[in-house]
């Protein structure tokens, strides 16, 4: 009977450390893999960098398009741009064509 009592006493003494290690493991896992964990933070940081790079690219493309549209406006109509767009719309401009305008 005393052996059973010794085993019970040692097992009860081991319960608290086991519960503490389980809690530490649970929180450590969720700190790494959870919705707001370190891995999620890293993924979001990379996504932000990719989005910023895409923003820079799209902003440059928008500026180019705005400049080209500005050349087609009536108050600042550029003859070269008008000819290029006319050929493109009419299907007369082929890849590799070079337009040389004489004045």
Q: Domain limits at 2? A: 1-33
22 and 55 co-located in one domain: no
Cα dihedral 73→79→80→81 (10° resolution)? 20
* Same-domain status, 76 and 45: yes
The SS3 call for residue 96 is coil
Under 8 Å CB-to-CB from 81, ≥6 apart: which residues?
68, 71, 72
Written as tens digits, the pLDDT of the chain (103 aa) is 688 888 888 788 888 889 999 999 999 999 998 888 999 999 999 999 999 999 999 999 999 999 888 877 777 677 777 777 787 788 776 777 776 665 5
Residue 102 lies in a domain: no
DSSP alpha helix (H) spans, the chain:
2-33, 38-72, 79-90
Say how many domains are in the chain: 2
- What pLDDT shows up at residue 101? 61
**55, 75: one domain:** yes
Please check whether residues 19 and 42 belong to one and the same domain: no
CA atoms within 13 A of residue 69's CA, in its CB half-sphere: 6
Does this model's pTM top 0.85? My answer is: no
């Amino acid at each position: 009977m005393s052996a059973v009592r010794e085993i019970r006493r040692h097992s009860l003494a081991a319960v608290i450390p086991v519960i503490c290690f389980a809690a530490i493991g649970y929180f450590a896992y969720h700190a790494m893999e959870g919705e707001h964990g370190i891995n999620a933070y890293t993924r979001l940081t990379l996504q932000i960098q990719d989005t910023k790079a895409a923003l820079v690219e799209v902003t440059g493309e928008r500026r180019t398009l705005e400049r080209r549209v500005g050349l087609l406006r009536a108050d600042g109509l550029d003859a070269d741009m008008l000819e290029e767009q006319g050929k493109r719309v009419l299907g007369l401009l082929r890849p590799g064509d070079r337009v040389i305008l004489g004045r």
